[in-house]
Structure 1
Amino acid sequence: MGNLAQNFINALTLGSTYALVAVGFTLVFGVLRLVYLGHAAVIAACAYVGYGVLRATGSVTLALVAGIVSGGILGLLVEWMAIRPVRGQHHLIPMVTSASFAIVVHELLRIFVAGGQSIAYPEAFTSTVIRFKLGDQTPYFTVGQLAVLLVTAAMVVALTWIVRKTWMGRAIRAVADSEQAASLLGVRVNATSARTLMLASMLAGAAGVLLGLTIAAIDPHFSTPLEFKAIAIVLFAGMGSIPAAVVGAYLLGFVESFAVVFLDTSYRDLFAYLVMIVILMVRPDGLMGRRVSQRV
């Protein structure tokens, strides 16, 4: 069975990464009611921003802050350029415009950053380990893995507090229930839409930097598979629910991490998607069964 404790740590790390992206997706879906395909580009761009700051300063904290801030800025930009001009049109149109925005960002990264070649975060942050004894096993955390766990917990808690306890969160929930009713009550729908995408993209920015700390190398398209997994998580866990997105993300992380114990690594994604298909066949509304009308 190998080192089960280490597999558990790897599963937590993978699930935490998925959670940052999936929570952003469910927030966007819950408020804007659209499938948004700009997340992968935000993750990739912020990973490069974090790389540059980390190389210049040697500070993981500053790299994370830079990734989060740049993610928020990109979120505002994509809302202004790709979402707001087509608000109220067929739901497939924002999907196409956000995907087009993402393609532009990916291509700019490919052309202007390292010639589109893969680059690696400094090895000290991806290979430095913290070992501890657990029975007859000696599992470890890398610096990157520890950062993923701590930052994910902090950001999900902070986002939940914002949505549930602040005036911004009340506006977000009002728009999620009904744009028309919220507008009649004085809520600025466009501003709320922008803030929603900003929050979701800040999570994606953090995910980009954290991924850079935990994987071998990044390139302009390294985040695309993660985007589609996040969409799948939102679908099979229950659309529009932050807790459901978190539960689904960790479930997928554990399924993938422990699948490699019994299967070849190349079958990991196949097994994970099969599990999601089975869940949707048994529970079409998702694991937590929340209706779309109760989105946020």
Structure 2
Amino acid sequence: MQLDLNVISIKRTDESVGTAIPNRDTELKSIGAGPVVTYYLSEEELNRMREKDAPACGLTRKDLLEAIAAGETLSSIERAWGMKYNTIHNWVKKWGLKGITPDRAQELLEQNSDAVESPAGPAPVTVEDVASRIIAAEAERTKEKDDEIDRLRSELEKATDEIKALSVEKEKATATISDLNTQLEEARPVSNESDEPAGIVVEKNDSMVDHPAHYNAGHIECIDAIEAATTGLSGVHAFNTGTAIKYLWRWSHKGGIEDLQKARWYIDRLIAAAGGA
């Protein structure tokens, strides 16, 4: 099937003229369509159809263009065709010729002449062409949606990685705070004054404060070993070294695997501080 604005299709049927009384045979003969005859309108016929709204005097767009191209003015054309005063300007505007010049008029006439020499007109648009355009547009829209989905998925993955990194940092910060609290408790001096009410005797285990068992497993106390190992060190080097030794010293008597993991964490920080990472 073809869609062409320059084509008029006329259907003919060979059915006979019906009668006032319904007849089955006659009705059956008229079923279906007759042959289709294709007729191409010429450019002149198309112009007449486009210019069916014209002044009563019979002036057409083509007549106006020819007169302008010949050097006539709008006023002289209006008088020559017997039109009312200034009515020609309405038709000039309606035909899209406002501000027309002789050169432009001649150019439009030549364009119309070229169109008459090629009556076939523009190539007809087929159903396949329309379908292919629709399919291509739909494919483009689908591609845009897929690209948007990929972009959002990429942003989601990036945000997920950032959240994981923040979680790791949070765990490290929590471990550091826990270690600092532990060191603060261990470094806090023991008060000789009792906080208990008068008359109540409370037994205190001084060995857990001064000499905890998990720091005195051998003949050398952990604090002495740390002081010896950090001699000549300062700042983060001394702190990370001493803390790592502390967890390695006590892991089998107190914290187990968790102490070993803490020791490794401080050793990694010590390596970074020493310029190893």
TM-score after normalising by structure 2? 0.20
- The structure that is helix-richer by fraction is 1
Question: Larger radius of gyration, structure 1 or 2?
Answer: 2
Q: TM-score, normalised by structure 1?
A: 0.19
- Report 1 or 2 for greater relative contact order, CA contacts < 8 Å, sequence distance ≥ 6: 1
